[in-house]
Each structure stands twice: as structure tokens, then as C-alpha cells.
A and B are shown apart, each in its own frame.
Chain A
Amino acid sequence: MHLAVYVLRRLAYMLVALFGVSLVAFVVTRLLPGNPAYMIVGVMADESTVIAVTERLGLNLPIHEQYFRYIQQLASGDLGDSWRTRNPVTTDIGARWPATIELGSAALVLALAWSIPLGIVSALRRRSFSDRLANALSGFGVSIPEFFLGMILLLVFFATLEWAPPALGRTLGDVPPHTTGFYTVDAILAGDWDAFKAAAVQMILPAVTLAVTVGAPMVRVTRGFMRETMASHHIRSARALGLPERSIVLRHALPNVLLPVSTMGAIMYGYLLGGTVLVEFVFARPGIGKYAIDSISESDFAPVLAAVLLSALSYLLVYLIMDILHFVIDPRTRT
């Protein structure tokens, strides 16, 4: 298949999926209790004001027309306004998404760094210490709730050992001048070492929390694929021709394993970029997830919808990019 055809087809699927997500999310948010018009004008406003606002927002229209209006807005890049923050949602998200991306990226790097090597080593040495370790760590990481792990880390490293700072947002130091929105990157760009440290230190525990929970299933997947590959005919053939073990593992087996594992990594990254509600909540980090949950509990539905769409979009986009990369890298798709 031609690359362009492939990409176009995938983009079409992506649009369909986004359409589905927006529809479901829209219906759900319209069911949230409370008339947003009241929330905007306040309960003390007179009735004519409420009616005017209701009509301006189109809340008196049938739901399918409301959805149609929403899609039209969306097409012009307008995500609506948040009555809670009194900002356009795009502004709010612009301020919060960098926090999520920064944390998600750090967590992904950490997760890959521990899970893939452990998965591979444990597959090579069955029933060894590393295999048992992999079993225990992945079992633990899959089973512990993110929010509880975050709290335990805070209990140990902040409350008891006093190594970590309290979980109060993105930084306790100076906010570096805005270039990328990522505090750590901006601090490096500004050459402000203290600001970098202050921002990085706020990120360590949440990133570790996510790295444990996201890395755990990756250990299992990596180990599974590695075992499967090592038992395959072509590895047996390579062994039968006397190739050294190092080449068998690194040159013959590893590429076959990294292809599927990278897909899994992409899925995880998509998930991380969509905002990790619970970890942002526990560490009071003002990212997309925290924004969404604060908005949900106050029936502020434009931000909720936006967060859901953004989350779905980042998942689909990362997945798409990974698929295209595979299409280019994997010789089997070439003809």
C-alpha cells in the first residue's frame, strides 16, 4: 500500500473516532445537573437575564441542534468558555496542557527506562532473580491505584524522610520566562538553574508514580514478546549456525520485540498526554486532568468536553504517528 493512501485512510478513521467521542461526551455533559445559565449570571439574577443567556448559549434548542452548533464552533477552533474561570477554554487549556505534557513525557521516559530492559532480561533468564523481580514489580505496578501510590510516595519522601517538597503545583520557586510552557525546559533556556531545580523536584514523585503504573504492563508485554521471539524458528536457525548470543539477542531478537513494544509505548504516551486525572489531583498539578475534574464537579461542561476531546485526540494522534513510523520502518509493510 502506498504511504499516502495509508495515512489518509488512518486520518479518516481518526475523524470518525473523534466524532463518536465528541457525540458521546456531548450528550453526557448536557445531562450534567444545573442550568449553566444560572451558573454564569448567578442565582440572584432576574429571570429575563437568565432566559437571554440561555438563548445565547442555545440551551433552549433541541439537543441535536445544540450538538450541531457545537461542532460548527469546534470547526472554527472555538472550544467555548468556562464559566468557572471566566476564560475561553482554549486559553485555559493553553495554560495547563504544557504541565501535562511535561509530566507525561518525563513519566514515559522513566517507564521505558525500567520496563523494557527488565522485560528483556527476565525473558532471557527464566525463573532467575530478575524474572522474579519483574513479576513482583509488574504485579505491584498493575495492581496499586495511582492515587494511592502517589500518596505513599508523599508519605515516605515528603512527610517522613523530608527529601521531597510538598505537593503544591508545578514549582515552589520562580516561574521561568514563558517560551515553551514547560517549566523545566524554559528554565534551562533561561539558564536559571534554581528555577529548573524547583520545577524538576516537583515533577519527580508524580513522574515516578506514573512510571510505575505505566511501566508495569510494559514489562509484561516486553517479556511476552521477547519470550515468543526467542522461541521462534529464525532464532533457532541463527543459533544453529553458531551466531554468538549477543548478536542473537541484540541484532536478531530485539528489533522484532521493539516494534510491537513501541506501539504499546505509544498507547501509554497517548494516555499520559490526555491528562492523568488522579495523579494531577494527588499532587495538585494544574494540568488537563485536574482541570477536567474540577470542571466536572462544578458542572462546567465546556472544559470537560474539551478535555475529553483533547484526551482522545492525543491518544489517536500518537497512535497514528506510531503506526506511520512502523509503516516506514517495518520491512514487512514494504513491497
Chain B
Amino acid sequence: MTGNPASPVTETPSLLNIENLTVGFRTGREVASMPLQGVNLRVPRATRMSLVGESGSGKSLTASAVIGMLPGGAEILRGSIRLDGEELIGASKQRLRDLRGPQIAIMFQNPRASLNPVLTVGGQIAEVIRTHSDAGRRESHHRAIDLLDQMGVPDARRRAGDYVHQYSGGMAQRAALAMALSCQPDLLIADEPTTGLDATLQQQVLELVVEQVSDRGASLLLITHDIAIARQTCERTAVMYAGRVMESGPTASVTSSPANPYTTALLRAFATVDEGRMYAIPGTVPTLLDPLAECPFADRCPNAAEECRDGVPELRTIADREVACVKA
């Protein structure tokens, strides 16, 4: 089903448009679980957007689906992913390969592991450039050095010939960013890019990502569990829970006056961590073995009412944002 259901929000053409994305894991012929259940997400052009949620909410799986690299056993059951108007679901492998790099690029967690240990850092970047352009060996290497330099790797000419184990964590993250941006992608997906870095480095890397993405006029989809990071880097924020987007809109208003009780609870959990107390959202995340039949947060929601059990709430446009809550 790749049709276009009545869009609830403004019709400005967005760069990435995910509609009703549903992903399941199969064992044998049966669907054993459905970790994504109708994700709707729009990333406008030249916009930084964060995708926030607890672990297991489906953030990373959504990113994997966008780049067409779902883990083994996972399968897109329905929905549509359009990049710049082009449908990606069902696109040929070759087409997806051509898009990865110049159109979408992704940086994973753990930059050290995402660079090949036996190839030089510069050589890896240059190979990506050569794959997607007519640049020759020499030119691609020059461009790789330039990129490392732009990312703030000191003495880039020499460091390009080094291997990743010779890089510090922060430098490795810069190299990974250089590689991801090497073909001027329109959309950069960053999956928890600063996990494992200390606070100072985290700050530097985030600033660098923001600066580089903005300079290039590209869009950013930043996947994080940390609302503070979303707040300081992204103009827009979408909150995910139980394989669905619960609320999405300008970061400032989503985080200051949340419209979905789940967002409120998530914010409260973060706020109390800062104050040194702990607030845990009562109850547990649903297991997502079967299709949802009601609001996934209903069991844990302080405002839950009868109508919350009458089906899964769809995203509705309310003022400056979209909210999936019948009571909003």
C-alpha cells in the first residue's frame, strides 16, 4: 500500500515523507512482532529534525527502513517512504545504492567501529567519493583531505593516511561525519551520534554537525533518546513511542507545552533527572507482538479515558504541530 491517504498537515513538499510505515519481524510465515506500527514523519528541506524516544520505541528501525537496510528478518508490511518525491519502498537495489551517499547518508553510533580497521581513513572517504562521482584517485584523495580538514581534524593531510585505531573517539566521529557528508547528501541521518563521548566532546560534535549540515543546506534527522540534545540542535522534534509518532512540531513548543501526555511524561522524566530526583513513567512499554488496537500509552496515561481504547489515535494537526491523542 503506497497510496497517499489524506495528509493531516500542510502540503509543503518535504524532503523525506514517511507515511504509515509498518515493519514486522517474521519467523517462518508468521509475523512474530511489529515494532513499527504506522509511523508518519515528515522532514522538510534544510531543516534539522530530531526523533526522540525511549529505547525500543522504533527510532533506529525507522532510520534503517529509510536507508533500505532493515535487519535480517524484518520486513516492511505497509506504508510509503518518499525521498524528494521518489518512492523508496520497492526501489531496486542499484537505485538505493545510488541514492545512498549523494542523497541520504547515515552516521551510526560508535564511529570507531563504523570505520574499517584495515583501510586508511582517507582512503575510505575517497572510495565513497569515487563511487558516486567521476573523480579520479588523486582528486578523490584531495577531496577527502579537504573534508577532514573542514571537520576540524588537525593536520588532515597526514591523518588521512592513518587508520581508525590511531584516532581518538572525537576525531573518529569527525572522520565518520566527513565520510557521511562526502557526497553532499540532502539528508543526513545521525543515529545517536554522540553516545559514548564525554560531555565536552559531545557538545563539539553536535555543534559541528549542525554547522556542516546548515552550511550545505541539507536536512538532518537526529535520532536520540536525550531531549536536551534535541532541544539544542534541532528546529523540529518528533516523539516516538511504541512504534508510532506521538507528537511532532517545532522543538520549542513541543518541549515547552507538550500536547501529548506521553511527551509530558517523557519531559518530566528528564526534568527530574536534572533535579537529582527520579521520575519513572509508571507501567511498561507494550510488547508490540500484535497490531495495536488502542492508544499504546493508554495503560500508563494519567488522562486515559474510555475513548482512548476505541482504536489507535491518528496524528491530527493542532495549531503548530501534529498530535496523536484523542484528548488533545
A330: interface (CB < 8 Å): yes
A180: interface (CB < 8 Å): no
B163 and A331: CB pair below 8 A? yes
Instruction: Report the stretch among A22-30, A88-96, A252-260 that lies at the interface.
Output: A252-260
Q: How far is the CB of A28 from chain B (nearest CB, A)?
A: 44
A241 and B163: CB pair below 8 A? no
Task: Count A interface residues, CB 8 Å.
Answer: 23
Query: Which of B96, B119, B179 is A252 in contact with, Cβ under 8 Å?
Result: B119
Instruction: Report the stretch among B28-36, B83-91, B109-117, B252-260 that lies at the interface.
Output: B109-117
Q: How far is the CB of A247 from chain B (nearest CB, A)?
A: 7
B117 and A236: CB pair below 8 A? no
B67 and A240: CB pair below 8 A? yes
Query: Whose C-beta in chain B lies nearest to the C-beta of A332?
Result: B165
A233 and B114: CB pair below 8 A? yes
B117 and A331: CB pair below 8 A? yes
**Contact residues of B between 128 and 166, Cβ < 8 Å to A:** 128, 131-132, 163, 165-166
Contact flags (1/0) for A241-272 with B, using CB distance below 8 Å?
Answer: 11110010001100110010000000000000
A331 and B118: CB pair below 8 A? yes
B131 and A256: CB pair below 8 A? no
- In the bound complex, residues from chain B placing their C-beta under 8 Å from that of A256 are 116-118
Instruction: Report the stretch among B97-105, B272-280, B293-301, B313-321 that lies at the interface.
Output: B97-105
B81: interface (CB < 8 Å): no
- In the bound complex, residues from chain A placing their C-beta under 8 Å from that of B117 are 234, 256, 331-332
Assembled-state Cα–Cα distance A241/B68 (Å) = 12
A241 and B113: CB pair below 8 A? no
Known contacts A242-B100, A244-B131, A332-B163, A252 near B116 by CB under 8 Å: yes
A234 and B115: CB pair below 8 A? yes
B108 and A233: CB pair below 8 A? yes
B127: interface (CB < 8 Å): yes
Q: How far is the CB of A236 from chain B (nearest CB, A)?
A: 7
Q: How far is the CB of B140 from chain A (nearest CB, A)?
A: 13
Query: Which of A233, A241, A331 is B128 in contact with, Cβ under 8 Å?
Result: A241
B106: interface (CB < 8 Å): yes
Q: How far is the CB of A1 from chain B (nearest CB, A)?
A: 14
Q: How far is the CB of B33 from chain A (nearest CB, A)?
A: 21
- In the bound complex, residues from chain A placing their C-beta under 8 Å from that of B102 are 242
Known contacts A243-B128, A332-B163, A332-B165, A236 near B119 by CB under 8 Å: no
Known contacts A241-B101, A244-B97, A330 near B118 by CB under 8 Å: yes
B234: interface (CB < 8 Å): no
A239: interface (CB < 8 Å): yes
**Contact residues of A between 251 and 308, Cβ < 8 Å to B:** 251-252, 255-256, 259
Known contacts A234-B115, A331-B163, A242 near B101 by CB under 8 Å: yes
Assembled-state Cα–Cα distance A331/B131 (Å) = 24
Assembled-state Cα–Cα distance A43/B166 (Å) = 71
A238: interface (CB < 8 Å): yes
Query: Which of B100, B118, B165 is A240 in contact with, Cβ under 8 Å?
Result: B100
Query: Whose C-beta in chain B lies nearest to the C-beta of A259?
Result: B118
A128: interface (CB < 8 Å): no
B69: interface (CB < 8 Å): yes
Assembled-state Cα–Cα distance A240/B187 (Å) = 13
A35: interface (CB < 8 Å): no
B69 and A242: CB pair below 8 A? no
- In the bound complex, residues from chain B placing their C-beta under 8 Å from that of A48 are none
Query: Which of B132, B165, B166 is A242 in contact with, Cβ under 8 Å?
Result: B132
Q: How far is the CB of A122 from chain B (nearest CB, A)?
A: 17
**Contact residues of A between 57 and 90, Cβ < 8 Å to B:** none
**Contact residues of B between 157 and 199, Cβ < 8 Å to A:** 163, 165-166, 176, 179-180, 182-183
Query: Which of B108, B118, B166 is A237 in contact with, Cβ under 8 Å?
Result: B108
B69 and A239: CB pair below 8 A? yes
Assembled-state Cα–Cα distance A331/B182 (Å) = 24
Assembled-state Cα–Cα distance A252/B114 (Å) = 12
Assembled-state Cα–Cα distance A255/B102 (Å) = 27
Q: How far is the CB of A128 from chain B (nearest CB, A)?
A: 15
Query: Whose C-beta in chain A lies nearest to the C-beta of B131?
Result: A243
B113 and A233: CB pair below 8 A? yes
A335: interface (CB < 8 Å): yes
B116 and A236: CB pair below 8 A? no
B179 and A241: CB pair below 8 A? yes
Q: How far is the CB of B83 from chain A (nearest CB, A)?
A: 13
Query: Which of A232, A331, A334 is B113 in contact with, Cβ under 8 Å?
Result: A232
Assembled-state Cα–Cα distance A242/B185 (Å) = 12
Contact flags (1/0) for B234-272 with A, using CB distance below 8 Å?
Answer: 000000000000000000000000000000000000000
Q: List 14 additional contacts besides A251-B119, A256-B117; criterion CB under 8 Å.
A: A233-B110, A237-B114, A240-B67, A240-B100, A241-B101, A241-B105, A241-B131, A242-B97, A242-B131, A243-B97, A243-B128, A256-B116, A256-B118, A332-B117
**What 5 A-B pairs come out closest when comparing CB atoms?**
A242-B100, A233-B113, A237-B114, A242-B101, A331-B163
Between A and B, 20 residue pairs with Cβ closer than 8 Å are A233-B108, A234-B113, A234-B114, A234-B117, A236-B69, A236-B114, A237-B176, A238-B124, A239-B100, A240-B67, A241-B101, A241-B179, A241-B183, A244-B97, A252-B116, A256-B117, A256-B118, A331-B120, A332-B117, A334-B163
